[in-house]
Structure 1
Amino acid sequence: MKAPLPSTGPSFLRTQRKPLVLIPACNRMLGYHPFFVAGQKYVDAARLAGAIALVVPSVPIEEIDALLDMADGILLTGSPSNVHPSHFGETVHDESLPLDPVRDGWTLPLIPRALSRGIPLFAICRGFQEANVALGGSLHQAVQEVPGQNDHRGRTDGTAEIQYDFAHEVEVIPGGALDAILDQRIFRVNSVHGQGVNRLAPGLRVEARAPDGLIEAFSLPGDTFNLCVQWHPEWQAAQNPISTKLFQAFGAACQAYHDRRRQPAPDR
């Protein structure tokens, strides 16, 4: 007689040693059919953080809390698509650029719910922009057209190595979460984004800026790990000491959250 297979439900996931990090997928048409997609580099980065990566398709809003019941961390990815400007009270500036309203429809409500639970959150590029919008901020739809701002878009005339090569420095603001993780005030990053923070959401703290003053990182101050960055630390993260520190800090926070959830309830 064969032994019964173990359960694969939420209680089973909570008993595993590694934390479970949810990675919301993007939505893409491949041929005539819709697909859920996520870049392999984000899964690899979650594994570098010591976590089990779970790519999640779009879910109805009423299922978000059930999903968060399983989560020990959230990794919001970059994407070719932009956050729809209707979420911060504007119309589309450039209709040739891709949008992903399905992703907007559930990641924007996901973000404040995750933060309210104390679930560690690491948001990258589009995820950085999503977090600002979800918490009440707004975006420049075309940073390169804003007076005084540089062109932060990546090159499209070469390989991924060229596109994700270092583009400019960022300066870390002293005394914040990023400063505590890195203990390094200036370092170089890649830059492949057209949108950027215009109005920072209330309560958020600037963690780093680009040479032109554009916000490159922010966090929501408190006891919960959360960090949102405009650049792409997941690109070749294992070969980049800055990226490695960021994902190790995220992974440690996810592990701590996971371990707290496994602790037995106190006696009454």
Structure 2
Amino acid sequence: MTYSHIEKIDQPLIAVSTDVCQLYNYLWHATPQQYLEAAITAAGVFPVLIPSFGYRLNLDQLLTTVDGVMITGSGSNVHPSLYGGDTNEANGPYDLARDSTTLPLIRKAIDHRVPLLAVCRGIQEMNVALGGTLATEIQDRPGSLDHRAPESDSRDEQFAIRQNVTIEPGGCLAGVVGTGEIRVNSLHRQAVDRLGPGLQVEGVAEDGTVEAVSVRNARAFAVGVQWHAEYWVKSDTVSERIFRAFGDAVRAHAAAKAGVGLLTS
């Protein structure tokens, strides 16, 4: 008898990073809704929040279950002790519980060939996880633009698309959004400094700040962007294409994994 069975894959699962924050006298493991909305709406996937418990989580087991990983942005910064930087309150706030979870998750996702999308803080975690360093308070560097959010009570104004980024030819991102100049909404005080071994630059700002990277010779989609592609995913073509490409990679991974499970006798 010969038979096969592949269930319809409508919304494959992806693991989503969480921040640890205090609210109502509880510690919460949470992520902003915009990332979840973008994952569902544009990528067409089922986001599952991963609590930030570091070594207590069996991440290898997790990565046999999910078909993608998304590392979100955050108001916190990667702890400088993880890349040999200067630890002080000016470079904070920090979230060591998140760091202890996301950095190994990034490395393991790449090793497991699980598609990876890292946004804002995520690209910084991606760089540190792969041996790179970060520059802090980059707006104070000579010749640097101010990449911070403008002061405003309106989130839409803070996250407005207003910066130019040049996409490098021949890379993964060029195949998604095209080469040349695009407009983005990049809001950050820190940035990639020394690029991690194994990463390649996919996009740079007008002042040379690294705004996008990918894993060189990656065996799956593995891209980090410094800007907030999640925020305008319903109205901005570049943002939508990034999440759609991630979703396509997740579905391809899920389909390939299901194909391995075909039974023949």
- TM > 0.5: yes
Question: If the length of structure 2 is used for normalisation, what is the TM-score?
Answer: 0.91
1:26 equivalenced with 2:19 (yes/no): yes
- Secondary structure of residue in 2 paired with 1:237: coil
Q: Does 1:115 align with 2:117?
A: no
Residues in 1 aligned to 2:54 and 2:263: alpha-carbon distance in whole angstroms: 34
**In 2, Cα distance between equivalents of 1:96 and 1:227:** 25
Q: Aligned residue for 2:45? A: 51
Letter of the 1:227 partner, please give it. V
Partner of 2:4: none
Residue matched to 2:248: 252
- Matches of 1:84 and 1:173, distance apart in 2: 29
CA distance in 1, matches of 2:91, 2:78: 14
Aligned length: 255
Aligned-residue CA RMSD in angstroms?
Answer: 1.7
Alignment-derived partner of residue 129 in structure 1: 124
Q: Which amino acid aligns with 1:110?
A: L
The structure 1 segments of at least 4 consecutive aligned residues displaced by more than 4 Å after TM superposition are: 265-268
**Within 5 Å, which residues of 2 pair with 1:152-167?**
152-167=147-162
- Alpha-carbon distance in 2 for matches of 1:73, 1:24: 12
* 1:66 and 2:66 aligned: no
- Give the Cα separation in 1 of the matches to 2:168 and 2:179: 10
The change in CA–CA distance for 1:111 and 1:159 in structure 2 (over 3 A counts) is same
Are the equivalent residues in 2 in contact too, given 1:15–1:262 (CA < 8 A)?
Answer: no
Larger RCO of the pair (alpha carbons < 8 Å, separation 6+):
2
Q: What percent identity do the matched residue pairs reach? A: 38
Contact 1:93 1:141 in 2 (8 A): no
The 2-side partners of 1:229 and 1:172 are apart by: 11
Quick one: distance in 2 between partners of 1:125 and 1:44?
16
Alpha-carbon distance in 2 for matches of 1:73, 1:178 = 17
Q: Can you list the C-alpha shifts for 1:175-208, whole angstroms capped at 9, x where unaligned?
A: 1011111124211111211000110001211000
In structure 2, distance between residues paired with 1:253 and 1:242? 17
Corresponding residue for residue 89 of structure 1: 84
